[in-house]
Amino acid sequence: MNINSILITGGYGFIGSNFIRFLRKKLPDIKIYNLDKLTYAANIENLKDFEEDKNYIFVRGDIKDKSILEILYPKVDAIVHFAAETHVDRSIIAPGEFIMTEVYGTFNMLETMKNFKNIKLFLHISTDEIYGSIEKGSFKENSPLNPSSPYSASKTGADRLAYSYFKTFGLPVIIARPSNNYGPYQHVEKFIPLFITNALDNKELPLYGKGENVRDWLYVIDNCEALFLLLEKGKIGEAYNIGAKNEVKNIEIAKKIVNILGKDESLIKFVEDRKGHDLRYSVDWTKIKKLGWQPKKSFDEGLKETVEWYKNHRHWWEKVKRGEFSNFYKKYYKSEIQ
Ligand code: NAD
Ligand code: DAU
């Protein structure tokens, strides 16, 4: 697909910012619009090096706001939709914003798109969590969806809405369902960055339940490569699982982190389990493999590099832990489009 300009939603988040950097290397001349509301999860320092890039345009706005979409849509050939509320624990405490962002926000993006035939592709970023937990084997793209948290349930709504706009209205939608990402720029509320940064400060590592839960850890750049391949070669109307062959128990990861940092395993503290905690996620990603993708990074290598990144970016995560960005965003407003 020939792309001259693209709209990324949620581009100041973890995967969105990695994807924008990745995309800029692949397509140096395209115009990149980043529509981000700057919630607590955003970090404007993730793309500090883009300030001088004339073809990078940041628009502060909400995907639930049709008027901003109507200004942006005529300018772009494709959309990659990352924006979401993403932390499962927050969805258990305060689910409302998850429903509004994932379900209403995605609906608003799709409904608005009906009037813009210039947009050739809507790449919707879903998640492997929509299938729910599986004890043995792996879910295929046509497996039943069985989400268990308000986060995954609202992501399921978004995923099916995206499909319905393909099936009912013929919109050019592709759905990506990646497994757990890790790597640089991930918010410290998430498991791996939380454990690394706490261990660096000799603080306790709160391991939920017995630490037996399994996730399939995908290095964020491997995920970016998969998403880029879908932009180029994905089939309209299809969903694609993206996994990593890196299924690891949480307890093993906690031990690996303390060992890499030369800390004591006594930092690991078993705490009350997450409500409705899914035991294991596993997806079969044969379909995207057939398109020519497979992950490159081994988990041990990726984890070492990630630990090193957080060691070298203390200034970045200390600000996040202090909530400095959230306070700043309340005052800050910068948009290059009026
Ligand atoms: P993140 O929480 O790091 O970033 C989310 C970004 O979206 C933030 O910059 C935030 O400001 C923005 N945002 C939130 N609500 C918005 C709104 N209403 N309008 C505009 N912008 C808004 O998220 P992430 O971990 O990078 O995840 C990105 C996407 O990938 C999400 O859709 C998530 O469900 C999906 N996903 C994540 C993972 C993972 O392991 N992180 C795995 C699979 C799928
Ligand atoms: O599977 C993809 C999903 O992965 C994405 O769709 C979500 O946006 C993303 O947040 C992630 O969800 P998880 O719940 O799997 O990730 P999290 O980092 O919150 O937790 C990973 C595992 O670690 C999970 O089994 C819960 C456990 N955990 C987490 C935290 C924050 C702990 O034991 N202690 C903790 O403090």
- Res. 328: pLDDT tops 90: no
What's the mean pLDDT in 261-278?
Answer: 98
Any atom of ligand 1 within 6 Å of the Cβ of 16: yes
Give residue 164 CA to ligand 1 midpoint distance, Å.
22
Q: Which two tokens stand for residue 276?
A: 């409705």
Q: Whose atoms come closest to the Cα of 182: which ligand? A: 1
Q: Which residues are catalytic?
A: 128-129, 151
Judge if pTM exceeds 0.95: yes
What per-residue confidence (pLDDT) applies to 77?
Answer: 97
- Is position 271 within any domain? no
Q: Per-residue pLDDT tens for 178-214?
A: 999 999 999 999 999 999 999 999 999 999 999 999 9
pLDDT band at residue 337, thresholds of 50, 70 and 90? very low
The whole-angstrom separation of Cα 106 and Cα 217 is 26
What per-residue confidence (pLDDT) applies to 324?
Answer: 78
Give residue 191 CA to ligand 2 midpoint distance, Å.
6
- Res. 326: pLDDT tops 90: no
Range of the domain at 146: 5-189+216-247+279-297
What's the mean pLDDT in 252-277?
Answer: 98
- Is position 70 within any domain? yes
**Neighbouring residues of 217: CB distance < 8 A, sequence distance ≥ 6:** 179, 180, 181, 182, 192, 244, 246, 247, 248, 253, 299, 302, 303
What per-residue confidence (pLDDT) applies to 260?
Answer: 98
- Is position 196 within any domain? no
Distances (CA, A) of 334 to 31, 177, 328, 337: 18, 32, 12, 9
- Is position 45 within any domain? yes
Percent of the chain with pLDDT over 90: 94
Q: Position of tokens 């939709």?
A: 81
Q: Per-residue pLDDT tens for 37-79?
A: 999 999 999 999 998 999 999 999 999 999 999 999 999 999 9
- Is position 56 within any domain? yes
Any atom of ligand 1 within 6 Å of the Cβ of 243: no
What's the mean pLDDT in 258-272?
Answer: 98
Q: Whose atoms come closest to the Cα of 159: which ligand? A: 1
What per-residue confidence (pLDDT) applies to 332?
Answer: 55
- Res. 333: pLDDT tops 80: no
Distances (CA, A) of 304 to 18, 212, 307, 312: 18, 22, 5, 12
Looking up residue 53, the CATH number of its domain turns out to be 3.40.50.720
The tally of domains found in the chain comes to: 1
What per-residue confidence (pLDDT) applies to 338?
Answer: 37
The whole-angstrom separation of Cα 20 and Cα 6 is 10
Pocket test for ligand 1, best of 34, 39, 329 (most atoms within 8 A of CB): 39
Count Cα neighbours of 44 within 13 Å in the Cβ-side half-sphere. 19
Closest C-alpha to ligand 1, atom 15:
84
- Is position 116 within any domain? yes
Pocket test for ligand 1, best of 43, 86, 125, 194 (most atoms within 8 A of CB): 86
Q: Per-residue pLDDT tens for 125-167?
A: 999 999 999 999 999 999 999 999 999 999 999 999 999 999 9
Closest C-alpha to ligand 2, atom 4:
180
**Averaged confidence pLDDT in the chain:** 96
- Res. 323: pLDDT tops 90: no
Ligand 2 closest atom vs CA 189: 31
pLDDT band at residue 255, thresholds of 50, 70 and 90? very high
* Least confident span in 247-251, 269-273, 325-329: 325-329
Pocket test for ligand 2, best of 138, 208, 282 (most atoms within 8 A of CB): 208
- Is position 69 within any domain? yes
Give residue 219 CA to ligand 1 midpoint distance, Å.
16
What per-residue confidence (pLDDT) applies to 330?
Answer: 66
- Is position 152 within any domain? yes
Ligand 2 closest atom vs CA 213: 25
